[in-house]
Structure 1
Amino acid sequence: MTRQIAIAALIAASFAAPAFASGDAAAGEKVFNKCKACHAVGEDAKNKVGPILNGIVGAAAGQVADFKYSDGLVAKAAEGLTWDEETLAAFLAKPKDVVDGTKMSFAGLKKEDEIENVIAYLATFE
């Protein structure tokens, strides 16, 4: 009986897991080409028009040193905005819907698989 409950819990958890957890990091690296003009990742990453994105998945918003965030992002950070997978997905789809007054001029990614993949790619950088 205990084994059946454990199996049922695992099955339920798999359905509750966010869709982005299944993203393809290699495909996300290609999607990130759309982001490279403004953002960088990796060991030698430096802030550009946008902040570096190392460690972004799960991070509190507005925490990159030496980056001047928009007033809108600063306000959201003060409210406790965290870049979890759901929030990142929403922001990558429509940035201005998540952070009113963001400086990010990118209109957003339209394809759900691109969003999932770029989040998986970003998750590889700590």
Structure 2
Amino acid sequence: MKRISMAILAAAAMAASTAAHAEGDVAKGEKIFKRCAMCHTLEEGAGNRIGPNLWGMFSRPVASVEDFRYSQAMQEKAGEIGTWDEESLDAYLTRPRDYVPGTNMAFAGLRKESDRTNLIAYLKEATGAE
């Protein structure tokens, strides 16, 4: 009986750990965002920097911040992406220049999947995603 209970507890703990990892760690994502903060702001109504303000990025069309000049490549890719979601943003953050050839974004990308997952979790929270 104890063996069965231990096995059930272990399986439940493993499932919870996997779900938490899939959602990302917001605190770790905030630390990763410090690399992005040189070029991007997050707060509603904040201005653009070298890159556009990211507030509302999960609910507005890609490349649609009115007072920001996007590269032609990003404007063309925007129709394909529609709005950012976890999948498209993960692909972009892996290697921006591969996902959008010709983008002006100089950032090389995040190799580690966990870094991307954590950053996306933070961005969803910090940019007002529902």
Residue 86 of structure 1: how far off its partner (Å): 0.4
Distance 2:21 2:96 in 1: 17
Q: Would you say the 8 A contact 2:96–2:103 is kept in 1?
A: yes
Residue 74 of structure 1: how far off its partner (Å): 0.7
What's the counterpart of residue 61 of structure 2? 60
Residue 32 of structure 1: how far off its partner (Å): 0.1
The Cα RMSD (Å) is: 2.2
| Structure 2 gap segments, 5+ residues each | 1-14
Q: Would you say the 8 A contact 1:95–1:104 is kept in 2?
A: yes
Residue 19 of structure 1: how far off its partner (Å): 8.8
Residue 93 of structure 1: how far off its partner (Å): 0.8
Distance 2:115 2:37 in 1: 15
Q: Deviations over 1:61-104 (max 9, x none)?
A: 11112000000011112345431110100111100111111000
Distance 2:57 2:21 in 1: 15
Q: Percent identity?
A: 47
Q: What is the 5 A alignment of 1:1-126?
A: 21-43=22-44, 45-124=46-125, 125-126=127-128
Q: Would you say the 8 A contact 1:20–1:85 is kept in 2?
A: no
Residue 30 of structure 1: how far off its partner (Å): 0.4
- Pick closer, same or farther for the CA change 1:58–1:93 going to 2, 3 Å: farther
2:34 alignment partner, SS class: helix
- Pick closer, same or farther for the CA change 1:29–1:72 going to 2, 3 Å: same
| Structure 1 gap segments, 5+ residues each | 1-13
